[in-house]
Structure 1
Amino acid sequence: MTETAAARLRELNLYRRYFELVAAGRKSIEVRVKYDHLADLAAGDVIRFRIKGTDETCDVLVKQVTEYPDFEALLDGEGPANVNPTSTREQQLANIRNIYGPEKEALGALAIKIELVTP
C-alpha cells in the first residue's frame, strides 16, 4: 500500500488499572485482538484511551503494530514488563484471557507499541 493519509485518531476503552499505567508512561505495549476495525491501525496514528463511563482520557502515539498468532507469542515477543510492569507473565496471560475468550484469541493478537502524548 502506498497510502499517505494523515494520522488518524482512534478512541478505545481501557480498564482503569491499565489506563493508569498508560497515563503514567509505564505501559509501552497495548494488547488487542486483531478485530477488523483495527486492521488498518498503523504507526503515526493516535489512540485516545478512555475509562468507560468517565471523561478520563489520555492520548498515545502508535509507534508500531505487530501481529501475533496468540497472546502467549505476543508476551514472549514483546516482553511481559512492557505490557504490564506490575504483573508476572502468568498473571498477564490469565488476565488477558479473562478479557478475551478463546474465540477472540483465535482471531490473532496485536501488540501496539505506544508512547504517551503529553499535552
Structure 2
Amino acid sequence: MTETTTRVHELNLFRRYFDLVAAGRKQIEVRVRYPHLEDLAAGHVIRFRIKGTDETCDVSVKRVTQYDNFEALLDGEGPGNINPTSTREQQLANIRNIYPPEKEALGALAIEIELLNT
C-alpha cells in the first residue's frame, strides 16, 4: 500500500490579501521566482498566514505560470483575478512596493489558487 502526502508550502500574506483569499475572491497569488518556490506545482497546498498571528488559510495550487516581470503577469492573468478591489495601476504600484526592482528582476510567478474547505 502506497501512502501519498500533499506538499504544503507556508507563506506569509498581508491582511488585505489574506481576506480576499479567505473569501474566495482572489484567484491568482503573485510572488517573485525565489529559489524556495521552484518546486511549487499544481496539486500542492499553500497555507497562507498573517505574519505574527495564528490565522491561516489553505488553498490548492491549480497552476503556476512564470513571467519576466509584474507588468507581463498582470497583462497575462488579468488584474481582476489578482485583486478584484484595485485597478491594474494600483496593483502594479502595490506589488512593486512589496518587491523592489532587484526582486522583480528574478521574475514573477502567477499562482492560480482555489480555497480549500478546512
TM-score band w.r.t. shorter chain: over 0.9
Structure 2 counterpart of 1:33: 32
- Identical aligned pairs, as a percentage? 79
Structure 1 counterpart of 2:90: 91
Q: 4+ residue stretches of structure 1 with deviation over 3 A?
A: none
Aligned length: 115
Deviation at 1:6, TM superposition (A): 4.2
How far apart, in 2, do the equivalents of 1:71 and 1:40 lie? 20
1:40-99 Cα offsets, whole Å, 9 max, x none, are: 100000000000000000000000000000000000000000000000000000000000
Amino acid at match of 2:96: R
1:7-36 Cα offsets, whole Å, 9 max, x none, are: 200100000000000000000000000000
Structure 2 counterpart of 1:43: 42
Q: Which runs of 5+ in 2 are unaligned?
A: none
Structure 2 counterpart of 1:76: 75
Q: Provide the TM-score with structure 1 as the length reference.
A: 0.95
How far apart, in 2, do the equivalents of 1:69 and 1:98 lie? 18
Q: Provide the TM-score with structure 2 as the length reference.
A: 0.96
SS in 1 for 2:65: strand
Does residue 9 of structure 1 match 2:5?
no
Deviation at 1:118, TM superposition (A): 0.6
Structure 2 counterpart of 1:111: 110
